[in-house]
Structure 1
Amino acid sequence: MKSLVLERKDELSLRDFPAISKAEETLGPRDVRIKLHTVGICGSDVHYYTHGKIGPFVVNAPMILGHEASGTVIEVGSDVSTLTIGDRVCMEPGIPDPNSRATRLGMYNIDPAVQFWATPPVHGILRPTCVHPEAFTFKLPDDVSFAEAAMVEPLAVGVHAATKARVKPGDVAIVMGAGPIGLVTALSALAAGCARVFVTDLAEKKLDIAASLSPAITPIQIPAQDMVQIVKRETAGWGADIVFEATGSPHAARTVFEPLAPGGCVVMIGGQPDPIQYDAGAAMVREARVENIFRYAHVFPRCVGMLSSGAIDVKPLITRTFDFEDSVRAFEIAASAPPADVKMQIVLPQ
């Protein structure tokens, strides 16, 4: 079974990979077997490639990459009732322990025992097939393509962030960072009811893409433009109702309260590898609410529905597509962080 394997830091290969355990490939009564079609390259995949670890998750053995995926059901377990062979699907990549306290409370994304694709030691799905639970596999409407479906995973982060922000119709938001997560967060904020979203970034080309997504999106290039000054000017001095921090930059995180309106909300999305400075005084005088998100929960069906209805269009974010045979080259390009690219995807042989 040829797969894209991260052998170790800075070394990828496309090779047969017999190390998938028999247990992982055994079809249970409530599982489906999926032939993979399209897999997105996520920043976490690239980080494992370039650094060999993310926080406590260390690549100590060869690991298959990839967790943003769509495909076709080719086999169903005996107790599966909602999916049939031939169904086009997308898959939520985290499988929690159904008996854990977090899962029973509805917070399955923060179950410490969650098994998440391409998070060591769990293998990802840049491979021909996988077995996955029916409960975390979602049928696609005819008007949602495989490419769009592989965007549901990152889109779920943005929708989860907008949900945690408790967006109200007419809110003004700022999204710090115009990478894939920043842009799907901007789209999610608009779909949730924001009247206007300011998007900040260093890269002009990414801001051009942001501006093209909606007339309600205003790009701000940092540091040439002063984010606080622009937002205050455009809101009659009040500030933004919501600030989404999607850069993972400690410098950006230090500024989250500066453009925030009294009573506003900050949502921390970008992962921070180290402790960051936090202006407790600025938060206090605003009575700011601060939310943190870790991946997502309960939003995949909502994402599929919004793609199908046209409430959110992710197609402009897919900037480059590679054949599976070019997977190593695709990761090399992704690791170079081209400023004009947002989401790169890999299409497997069918």
Structure 2
Amino acid sequence: MKSLVLEEKLKLSLRDFPIEEALGPRDVRIGIHTVGICGSDVHYYTHGGIGQFIVREPMILGHEASGTVTEVGAQVTNLKVGDRVCMEPGIPDPNSRASRLGMYNIDPAVRFWATPPVHGCLRPSVVHPADFTFKLPDNVSFAEAAMVEPLAVGVHAATKARVKPGDVALVQGAGPIGLVTALSALAAGCARVFLTDVDDTKLEIGASLSKAITTINVGKGDATAEILRQTEGWGVECVFECSGHPRAAGQVFDALCPGGVVVFVGIPVEPFHYDLGKAMVREARVEQIFRYAHVFPRCVGLIASGAIDVKPLITRKFAFEDSVHAFEVAATAPKGQVKMQIELP
């Protein structure tokens, strides 16, 4: 079937690709409608790998998807042909120790779309386990449904932070993940979120999402001093590090209040150092997340209820036949663009 294929570093093609997937008794076949372009997809395109995951042979990209069920396996009872759905792209080994302990996202054997050597979903159809496929309410569009996957990262981060009603948070980085994390923190109960970045356009988008979001350009001023001023010297209860930038990651404790929590969300491109002494005098709790677990139904519910509005984050759409160009544009990190999506016919 025609697919968007990463042939090698910096070389994409839209071509027929030989891939056949048998429908198992607990699987569904899904006609793909919308796929979001994720930073990891772009990184595979521009660098040929992420950490230990190296593209060694042609691979189909894409993992943020929505579509329509076209076929169901013999044992599937929760879905039917015609259902509109979104899909959780990581498939763990259900018998692994991590999965049995409820941590299926960190199962070493997890198979995740568009993570070498597993093919992604930028193609007309996929076969996927029904247990990781979620029916959409009528008021959730395909575009919004394709945002469930990145939103899941933010909801998982807020869950790990154990946000309490009235908490104040700092989100470092106003990219797609930073923005959904800010929205998730507010939905979890934060009264206020400080959002930092160096891109004024992204900060403007962040500020437009909620009156409870206060933006600070860290390239133009001292964010820590401003946050401490606005919190009467106390600081914030939660810091979400979403930028992946070593300098930002190394400063996570500066604006943190005593007893606060830091959640590392963005994956740094290189090792970084932070001040353990600052963490100790605060008795800071430090958490990390890797993707998400057990949150997709929550994300669908948050979008359906209007508690979280992801529509302002969808800033550009491309037709499937323009997929190569879409990635070329995404690789330039254009200002003002948050989430770009590809629509299949």
Task: Identify unmatched segments of 5+ residues in structure 2.
Answer: none
SS at match of 2:214: strand
In the superposition, the TM-score normalised over structure 1's length comes to 0.98
User: Is 1:118 equivalent to 2:117 in the alignment?
Assistant: no
1:7 maps to amino acid: E
Once residues 27 and 348 of structure 1 are traced to their aligned partners in structure 2, the CA distance between those partners, rounded to angstroms, is 22
The answer for the alignment partner of 1:168 in structure 2 is 164
2:168 maps to amino acid: V
Once residues 221 and 132 of structure 1 are traced to their aligned partners in structure 2, the CA distance between those partners, rounded to angstroms, is 42
Displacement of 1:274 in angstroms is 2.4
The answer for the alignment partner of 1:6 in structure 2 is 6
The alignment-based identity, stated in percent, is 75
Once residues 216 and 268 of structure 1 are traced to their aligned partners in structure 2, the CA distance between those partners, rounded to angstroms, is 22
Once residues 3 and 218 of structure 1 are traced to their aligned partners in structure 2, the CA distance between those partners, rounded to angstroms, is 41
Q: How many residues align?
A: 345
SS at match of 1:120: coil
- C-alpha distance after superposition, 1:64-112 (max 9, x if no partner): 0000000000000000000000000000000000000000000000000
The answer for the alignment partner of 2:61 in structure 1 is 65
| Cα RMSD for the two superposed structures | 0.5
- Within 5 Å, which residues of 2 pair with 1:299-338? 299-338=295-334
- C-alpha distance after superposition, 1:125-160 (max 9, x if no partner): 000000000000000000000000000000000000
The answer for the alignment partner of 1:78 in structure 2 is 74
Task: Identify unmatched segments of 5+ residues in structure 1.
Answer: none
* 2:124 maps to which of 105, 125, 128: 128
Once residues 273 and 107 of structure 1 are traced to their aligned partners in structure 2, the CA distance between those partners, rounded to angstroms, is 24
User: Is 1:219 equivalent to 2:204 in the alignment?
Assistant: no
Once residues 232 and 198 of structure 2 are traced to their aligned partners in structure 1, the CA distance between those partners, rounded to angstroms, is 25
The answer for the alignment partner of 1:149 in structure 2 is 145
SS at match of 2:169: strand
Once residues 56 and 17 of structure 1 are traced to their aligned partners in structure 2, the CA distance between those partners, rounded to angstroms, is 25
SS at match of 2:76: coil
2:17 maps to amino acid: F
The answer for the alignment partner of 2:294 in structure 1 is 298
The answer for the alignment partner of 1:252 in structure 2 is 248
The answer for the alignment partner of 1:29 in structure 2 is 25
C-alpha contact (below 8 Å) 2:245/2:269 kept by paired residues: no
Displacement of 1:6 in angstroms is 0.3
Once residues 54 and 15 of structure 2 are traced to their aligned partners in structure 1, the CA distance between those partners, rounded to angstroms, is 22
C-alpha contact (below 8 Å) 2:236/2:255 kept by paired residues: yes
Once residues 39 and 279 of structure 1 are traced to their aligned partners in structure 2, the CA distance between those partners, rounded to angstroms, is 39
Once residues 234 and 222 of structure 1 are traced to their aligned partners in structure 2, the CA distance between those partners, rounded to angstroms, is 16
Once residues 274 and 214 of structure 2 are traced to their aligned partners in structure 1, the CA distance between those partners, rounded to angstroms, is 26
- C-alpha distance after superposition, 1:316-337 (max 9, x if no partner): 0000000000000000000000
2:228 maps to amino acid: K
In the superposition, the TM-score normalised over structure 2's length comes to 1.00
1:63 maps to amino acid: M
Once residues 231 and 174 of structure 2 are traced to their aligned partners in structure 1, the CA distance between those partners, rounded to angstroms, is 22
* 1:276 maps to which of 272, 288, 291: 272
The answer for the alignment partner of 1:158 in structure 2 is 154
Displacement of 1:348 in angstroms is 0.2
Once residues 274 and 100 of structure 1 are traced to their aligned partners in structure 2, the CA distance between those partners, rounded to angstroms, is 30
C-alpha contact (below 8 Å) 2:168/2:238 kept by paired residues: yes
- C-alpha distance after superposition, 1:184-226 (max 9, x if no partner): 0000000000000000001000000000000000010012021
1:3 maps to amino acid: S
SS at match of 1:125: coil
